[in-house]
Each structure stands twice: as structure tokens, then as C-alpha cells.
Structure 1
């Protein structure tokens, strides 16, 4: 009886691990979409509202993602406090500082961290070109991630469930 209960628990944990891993993969792709939307929202607010960047980044409705809201708030506070360094350097430091919380890969983080140059350039035309460049790079990364997402989900699900079943067999 105890072996049966233990086997059920181990098999259930294998399925739970598979569901958790698939959720993390899906959440990662969703975060990339949120970053893309954040960049577009900032650009739109910058063009329409003509407010200083610290006011734009401090708006609560800029993004739905809590981690991105935190990063934007940190950047806004640093800009408002007139810390040393340019706005793009402050942007970059904030994203690198919160790397773990954002859960981005190195290439994705590099694109996002450098995207701040699109908001702190010399003129509007230069900013638009830079934003277009970084959005294009981010779209490429999102496309690659979408292609890999299904395969990763299948592998994660299969390995977790089969690993759980193998452990059950070993315990019996």
C-alpha cells in the first residue's frame, strides 16, 4: 500500500514538474512580448505627452508585468534624483541589476538594456531609428523563442513525466 501511494506521489510530482516547466517557458515568451509592448508604450507616451522620461516611466499603466514596472520605477527614481550618468546608462544599469528577476537570457537582456538609447538620444529622428532597430532585433529574438517554445515544452513534459515513471518503476 505504501509503495502504491509513494508511486502515485512520485508520478504526480513528475506531472507537476512538467506543468511547471511548461509554464515557465510560456511566461518567458510572454515577458518578451511585454518588453516589446513596454518599448512601444514609452515611445508613444514620449511622442504624445511630451513629458520628461522620469514621469513617463513612473506611470503605473505602462506595463502589466510587475518586474518591468519595478525596473521602470527604479529608472524613474534615478532620473528624478539626477544621478550621475546619462539616461541610457541608468536604463542599462537598472536592467542588468534586475537580470535575475526578469529571467531573460543574455542576448535578450542585452537588447533590452541597450534599448534605452532609443529614448535618450540627441533628437527625435535618431530615437525613432534606434527604437526601430531594437524592436527589429527583439522581434527576431521573439521569433526564435516561439520556434523553440513548442519543442522545449514537448521535451520538458516528456522528460519530466517519463522520469517520474522510471522512478516509480525503480521504487517498486
Structure 2
């Protein structure tokens, strides 16, 4: 009886591990899509609203889900604080501190760091070009993430169940 309960727990745990990994594959393209919407909003704020950057970032944070909302709110907060750092420094510091809480990878981070290096230090048209470039790079990353999701999401679920079943068979 005790072995059956243990086997059921192992099977349940292995299945859940597979489903959690599958959820990670699904979350990455979703977060990239949210980031693309945020950059479209930033492009509008820069191009038409002529909103100061901290205000634009704060507005973006209000419409984004966590953890992205927290990153943009932190950047806006740092720009408003009296630390005296540049936009690039604040952007890089916040992204480095908070990136691990996202499901995104190095390609997306690199695109965002390049964007942060160009914001606030040049004219409106130049900033808009950099935002558009970052959006193009993120669109490429999103398509790669969607392909990866299609390829590995179902595989992760299956491996979780089958791996747990193997452990159960070896236990009994």
C-alpha cells in the first residue's frame, strides 16, 4: 500500500515537472509579445505624445503584466530619483537585476540593452529608429520562441510523465 502511494506521488511530481517546463516554453513568446506592445506604446509616446521618458515608462508599466511592469516601473523610478545616473545606466542596471524573473533569454535582453543605450541621448527621430530596430529584433526572437514552443512544449509534458513512469517501474 505504501509503495502504491509513493508511486502515485512520484508519478504526480514527474508529471508536474513536465507541465511546469512546458509552461516556461509557452510563457516566453507571451512575454516577448507584451514587450513588443510596450515598445509600440513607447514609440507612440516618443513620436506623438512627446512625453518625458520617465512618464512614458511609468505609463507602460501600468498596462503590462508582471514581471515586465516591475522592470519598467523600476526604470522610471530610477530616472526620477536623485541618483543622477544616465538613462543607459539605469536601464542596464534594472534589466540586469530583474531579467532572471522573466522567461526571456539573452537575445531579447541584448535587444533591450541596445535600446536602453540609445534612449534619452539623441533626437526624437533617432530614438524612434532605435525603438523600431528593437521591435524588429524582438519579432525575430518571438518567431524563434514560438517555433521552440511548438517543438518542445508537448515533448516536455511527455518526458515528465514518461520519466516519472520509469522511476515508478524501477521502484516497484
User: Is the shorter-chain TM-score for this pair beyond 0.5, marking a shared fold?
Assistant: yes
Distance, in Å, in 1 between the alignment partners of 2:63 and 2:5 is 45
| Deviates most, 157-166 or 40-49 | 40-49
Mapping for residues 4-153 of structure 1, pairs under 5 Å: 4-59=4-59, 62-117=62-117, 119-153=119-153
Distance, in Å, in 2 between the alignment partners of 1:10 and 1:144 is 33
Distance, in Å, in 2 between the alignment partners of 1:88 and 1:44 is 20
Shift in Å, 1:59: 2.5
Shift of the 39–117 alpha-carbon distance from structure 1 to 2, 3 Å rule, reads farther
| Count, aligned residues | 172
1:22-80 deviations in whole A, cap 9, x for unaligned?
11211122111111111111221233332211112222664322222211121112111
> Unpaired runs of 5+ in structure 2?
none
Task: Report the TM-score, using the length of structure 1 for normalisation.
Answer: 0.89
Distance, in Å, in 1 between the alignment partners of 2:127 and 2:72 is 18
- 1:117–1:127: 8 Å Cα contact kept in structure 2? no
Shift in Å, 1:162: 0.8
RMSD: 1.9
Shift in Å, 1:82: 4.4
Task: Report the TM-score, using the length of structure 2 for normalisation.
Answer: 0.89
- 1:29–1:146: 8 Å Cα contact kept in structure 2? yes
Q: Which residue of 1 aligns with 2:3?
A: 3
Aligned residue for 1:65, secondary structure, equals coil
> Unpaired runs of 5+ in structure 1?
none
- 2:41–2:60: 8 Å Cα contact kept in structure 1? no
Aligned residue for 1:98, secondary structure, equals helix
